Homo-oligomer: A and B are copies of this chain.
Amino acid sequence: MCDKIKQLTLIEAKQQFISSWGAFGTHWGINRTMAQIHALLMVSPDPLTQDDVMEQLDVSRGNVNMNMRDLISWGLVDRVILSGERKEYFTAEKDIWKVATQIIKERKKRELDPMLKLLAQLEDIEGDKKDKEVKQFVETISGIRKFGHNADQMLDMLVKADESWFLGGLLKIFK
């Protein structure tokens, strides 16, 4: 009836987190390995090399390299050069708020902004505005565009909240 929940060791907990973060990512259009690398770096106190990641996640060098590039382009991972070392090391931001704002910024730029541009264009079509089909279409598109526009502004606020005194206050409620 009442399941006894096993207290996990650090190793088990890390594995569990990495695996779940990977599965979670796939529901959001992020590939499993990329999400797993990110998870691994988030729970690693020290920077890791490509070889560390290859070994711990059991994936190939090429795979690690490509996904690491991607994570860097998303601003979620940084290259680190440890003085005296030849190898490159990698590290991830561990403050989840910074991670979230970074993801919001990028997805906005890559997806929301282009979509809003398209919707603006679709709203202005040829044809009789009295026609039922035309009317329904324009209304639906316009609704989506307005919604997107508001979301856009709201996300901007969130992202900029860190830098603004007024919004920063609001943010503390959330953070």
Task: Mark A residues whose CB is within 8 Å of B.
Answer: 5, 7-10, 13-14, 16-17, 20, 24, 26-29, 42-45, 94-97, 100, 107, 111, 115, 118, 121-122, 124-127, 131-134, 136-137, 139-141, 143-144, 147, 150, 154, 174-175
Contacts and interface: CB of A to CB of B under 8 A. Distances in A.
30 contacts: A7-B124, A7-B125, A7-B126, A8-B121, A8-B122, A9-B126, A9-B127, A10-B125, A10-B127, A10-B134, A10-B137, A14-B137, A16-B118, A17-B122, A17-B141, A20-B115, A20-B118, A24-B115, A26-B29, A27-B107, A43-B137, A43-B140, A44-B136, A45-B133, A45-B136, A94-B143, A95-B143, A96-B140, A100-B147, A154-B174
| Number of this chain's copies in the complex | 2
A interface majority secondary structure: helix
A85 to B, nearest CB: 20
A44 B132 CA distance: 10
B28 A122 contact: no
Contacts of A10: 125-127, 131, 133-134, 137
Contacts of A175: 147, 150
Contacts of A122: 8, 13, 16-17
